[in-house]
Amino acid sequence: MVGYDVDALREAFDIEQEGAGPLSSEKMLHYFEMVFDAFRRVIRQIPYETLDWVSPGRPRTLRQLTWHSFERPDLVMQTHASGEYTEDMVRRYETMANDYDTNEDICAYGDEIQAKLTDFLTDGGEALAKKVSSYMGPITVHELMILSLGHAFQHLRQTYHYFEMLEIVPENPLQPEDYEEVPVPKDLF
């Protein structure tokens, strides 16, 4: 079995869903606000000349990494409209992030996405139930949004790691217990 068709995987392996199920739209919005606030704090701490520092192991700049963390939920909202989530979409940050020159440009982009996300997630949650096609297989917008949320927290953790390398002390960093309800990989990379 290939892909991310959760319902098909549960059926094929006779797996029952545990717990309360996916995060509600209200909880997702709370956690997006939390991670976006944390990202704005770290972005404002990055010296301008360090925005183009390339991370070891995965050749991308801090500019790309931080901008991309705001972008992923926007891709999910675009997917809701188009019905399709493609690999090309998730790769576009590699070039698009470079259009955001300063720390404040990146933070302003985050503000814009957060406003759109607030509108999207406060519509009663009906948009989240939509099933779309993706390069991972069929998936709901809700599942994609939760993946994008975990993705943002994962990149925040990685940014904190890079800060250690750059000898920058993050201001008021989030701790894992702050977002323990959000599915985030255990491994940093």
pLDDT digits (tens, 9 = 90+) for 49-67: 999 999 998 899 999 999 9
Position 65 scores a pLDDT of: 98
What does pTM read for this prediction? 0.89
The DSSP result for 53-94, as a single string, is PBPSSS--BHHHHHHHHHHHHHHHHHHHHHSEE-HHHHHTHH
Position 22 scores a pLDDT of: 81
Give 84's strand partners.
133
Can you list the domains of the chain with their CATH numbers? Answer: 22-179 (1.20.120.450)
Q: Which residues contact 162 (CB under 8 A, 6 or more apart)?
A: 53, 55, 62, 65
Residues of the chain with pLDDT > 70: what percent? 88
Q: Are 134 and 79 in contact (CB under 8 A)?
A: yes
Residue 2 pLDDT grade (very low, low, confident, very high; cuts 50, 70, 90): very low
The Cα–Cα gap between 45 and 159 comes to 11
The Cα–Cα gap between 10 and 2 comes to 13
> For residue 101, which of 52, 167, 168 has the smallest C-alpha distance?
52
Q: How far is CA 177 from CA 34, 42, 156, 164, 174, in A?
A: 13, 19, 14, 20, 8
Position 142 scores a pLDDT of: 96
Locate 117 and state its tokens: 């996300």
Locate 148 and state its tokens: 């994008």
Position 20 scores a pLDDT of: 43
